[in-house]
Structure 1
Amino acid sequence: MIDGDETRNDAVDRGSETHQITYDPASSAPPSHVLVVGVADVAQVDPLELEPLHDAVDPATIDEFVGEGGLPDVDGRISFAFAGYDVHVHPCGLFEVTPAD
């Protein structure tokens, strides 16, 4: 379910524990939308079947943190649980999604 505005690191396949989703700053979709669609793809469900992202984190926080073109000079990450996964958002636009324990 990843469209042309999103990419998934093909080196990490669906059978592995950590999935990587990369936000493309040229995308017309905000980073928070790319994250939701990416998690749905990993979970192999329709994005509308997931709990709302705003129940886990403010989507605007994700959008601002990643921003246009990402923030490669910013250290740190945002981490939270969403839809049965532990999610780590890096300012460069990398989303790491791991099944929650």
Structure 2
Amino acid sequence: MAPQDPLSIRLVTEISRLEGVEPFELPPLEDYIDTESLDNLFGRPDTPFYEGEVRFRYAGYDVTVTHAGEFDIS
């Protein structure tokens, strides 16, 4: 997983690592959140947002993504 990978890819990769499965074995992230919007709003270094976060549930995890493109999985 490289820092230049889209946020949505990094997120699925991290959850697959936690689960001990391949990313394709997880449900499609697109079924839970608009990944294009997630990547565009929170996954770019030139984002216009200075504050904010989005929270959603995916694959049994609570996910919080911050305006800085960082995420917390619990």
Q: Percent of counterpart pairs with the same letter? A: 34
Any idea what SS the aligned residue of 1:62 has? helix
Shift of 1:70: 5.6
What residue number does 1:38 align with? Answer: 14
State how many pairs are aligned. 74
Q: Are 2:66 and 1:90 aligned?
A: yes
Q: Are 2:20 and 1:49 aligned?
A: no
CA distance in 1: counterparts of 2:49 and 2:39, whole angstroms:
16
Compare CA radii of gyration and give the structure with the larger one.
1
Shift of 1:51: 0.4
Unaligned 5+ segments in structure 2 are none
CA distance in 2: counterparts of 1:72 and 1:94, whole angstroms:
15
Change (3 A) 1:88 1:66: same
Change (3 A) 1:64 1:83: same
Q: Which has the higher helix share?
A: 2
Residues 1-101 of structure 1 mapped to structure 2, 5 A cutoff: 3=1, 5=2, 24=3, 27=4, 29-69=5-45, 71=47, 74-98=50-74
Change (3 A) 1:70 1:82: farther
Pairwise CA RMSD: 1.7
Moved over 3 A (4+): 70-73
Tell me the TM-score normalized by structure 1: 0.65
Instruction: Name whichever of 80-89 and 41-50 sits farther off.
Output: 41-50
